[in-house]
A = this chain, B = another copy of it.
Amino acid sequence: MASTTRRTSAATADRRAAAEARTLGVVEKLLAEGASFTELSVERIASQAGLSRSTFYLYFRDKTELILRLTASLKSGTFEVGRDWGPDGPADGLTWLGDAYLRIIRHYRSRPGTYAAIMEVAGYDRTVREALEAGQRRFIDRVAGHLAEEQRAGRTSPALDPERAARVIVWGGEQVIARHVMDTEDDPAEDARVAHELAAAHWYGTYRRLSPA
């Protein structure tokens, strides 16, 4: 027998997906204009996205869901940047690392305010904090793996603890990049200098740490 419920048209689903994407875009736009996430009211976000406040709550559980979605999209993009561990390849390892950091900086720059908003909400919301930590966990595991490899090959100090050293690199490095992007205007040359200074600190301090014999 035929279903009594009328099937939802594909067009409707598309329209809804478009509206959600538009909403997230509006949030990023407002954040880029300097607003803090707390200052953004649902009314303002919804109206700018061409939705009523009621519809907003139909599409999103609450304001926090916006940040969770932005966290996922920002993190996945960042993780991609460091996909291929380059120092094994032909290029000079330090240069490769600096270039990778520069790409991450440029990625953050393309979405100014978004990372700051994530940090802001993570400050008082457990779910966002956990999402952020899960994203960092992936990085830490990857870096720890690389460090263990470098140790096995005798290219860095055997005294180094891969897991803790990886936390130092990921937590610290992310903060440096985030602060740099928040504090300074877009300037590719300065971005490159900071990226390479950070890379050098990590390279000589950890990836190729030469303990005195």
Inter-chain contacts of A203 with B (CB < 8 A) = 205
Establish whether residues A180 and B167, one from each chain, have CB atoms under 8 Å apart when the complex forms: yes
Q: A37-B124, A123-B119 are in contact. Are A201 and B171 (CB under 8 A)?
A: no
Tell me the bound Cα distance from A179 to B206 in angstroms: 19
Q: How close is A36's CB to chain B, nearest CB, in angstroms? A: 4
Contact with B along A183-213 (1 / 0, CB 8 A): 0000000000110011011111110011100
Tell me the bound Cα distance from A109 to B193 in angstroms. Answer: 34
Contacts of A201 in B (CB 8 A): 165, 168-169, 201-202, 205-206, 209
**Residue of A157, A169, A200, A203 contacting most chain B CB atoms (<10 Å):** A200
In the complex, what residue of chain B is closest to A201 when comparing beta carbons?
Answer: B205
Count class of interface residues, chain A: 35 or more
Which A residues form the contact surface with B (CB < 8 A)? 36-39, 116, 119-121, 123-124, 157, 159-161, 164-165, 167-169, 171-176, 179-180, 193-194, 197-198, 200-206, 209-211
Can you name 12 extra interface pairs (CB under 8 A) apart from A39-B124, A121-B123, A167-B179?
A160-B197, A161-B193, A164-B193, A165-B201, A167-B180, A168-B176, A171-B175, A171-B179, A172-B172, A201-B205, A204-B210, A204-B211
Within the oligomer, what is the number of copies of this chain? Answer: 2
Residues of B contacting A172 with CB < 8 Å?
168, 171-173, 175-176
Q: Chain A's interface: helix, strand, loop or mixed, by majority?
A: helix
* Contact call A168/B198, Cβ cutoff below 8 A: yes
Residue from B120, B123, B124, B204 in contact with A204 in the complex, judged by beta carbons closer than 8 Å: B204
- The answer to whether A194 and B164 have CB atoms under 8 Å apart is yes
